[in-house]
Amino acid sequence: MTDEEKKAEVEVSAVPFENKIVLPIRKTVAKKRHDVGRIEVPYPTLHDVADSLPEPTGFAEVDDDQPELGKVPVYDDPVMQWAQDALVEAVKRESRNVADVPEETAPFTINLRRPIPDSWQALLEEHKREGGAHLAIRAECIRAFGEWLAGLNKSAGATKKALLMFSNLKVASASPQATRERFAESYLLEFCKTLSEEDADKYSAHLENLTTALEVEEVDDDDF
């Protein structure tokens, strides 16, 4: 049996995921972000990836101030937590791919190009359909930021750090709060002001994910 024939025999589950979060959808018009609405996004846990992987030790609010956004899995093992967080972020990206906001003026509405993926089968089909295009757009967005950044004539160290934060969500979210706030105000916001409405919409998935990464709250020592 060839490798291709073996791949064809693999059955991908169409059973819907049990867990869901709520994802805000926004649109940029005249360099201003508008809250359009929200979509419900099913997502898998690591245990859904393989039975041999552990169940989460618990669940935590996506945002303590917005409990309506749902909960995400918590693992004691930091490696498991990293993998789970990456899994949820990937599902959010795939779901944003199917959510379109066609209007250029308010009132805005969310138009779903296709059903939101709710199983491994649907998720993989969506990734196959849009994955290459999404990666190309993300790379284009990072290139555009790099070109804009080069024009600021910052030091090599500052330029490298800003580009790393822009391109790597984990680095962005793990940076100290003061650094994240400075980056959001002096780099991300100023870069977004230079974008055309067309490019702002095209790059919206990466920009939204980056904005979310920068907004993660720093834990107070008194909370431990």
Phi, psi for 126 (deg, rounded to 5) = -65, -40
5-57 pLDDT, tens digit each: 444 445 778 889 999 999 988 887 766 778 889 999 999 999 998 888 999 99
Range 159-182 average pLDDT: 93
**pLDDT of 65:** 84
Q: Are 192 and 211 in contact (CB under 8 A)?
A: no
Backbone dihedral region of 207: left (phi > 0), alpha (psi from -120 to 50 degrees) or beta?
A: alpha
Are 148 and 191 spatial neighbours (Cβ–Cβ below 8 Å)? Answer: yes
Specify the pLDDT at position 208: 84
Q: What gap in Å lies between CA 90 and CA 123, rounded to an integer?
A: 10
Is residue 222 over pLDDT 60?
Answer: no
Region 158-178: what's the mean pLDDT? 93
* CA gap 74, 136 in Å, rounded: 31
CB 94 within 8 A of CB 117: yes
Q: Average pLDDT, whole number, for the chain?
A: 85
Cα–Cα distance measured from residue 102 to residue 92, given in angstroms and rounded to the nearest whole number: 20
Alpha-carbon dihedral angle through residues 141, 147, 148, 152, given to the nearest 10 degrees: 150
Single-letter amino acid code for the residue at 84: Q
* Closest to 148 in 3D by CA, of 166, 170, 126: 166
What DSSP designation does 69 have? G
| pLDDT tens-digit series, residues 184-213 | 999 999 999 999 877 887 888 889 889 888
- pLDDT at residue 1 is higher than 50: no
Give yes or no for residue 132 having a pLDDT over 90.
Answer: no
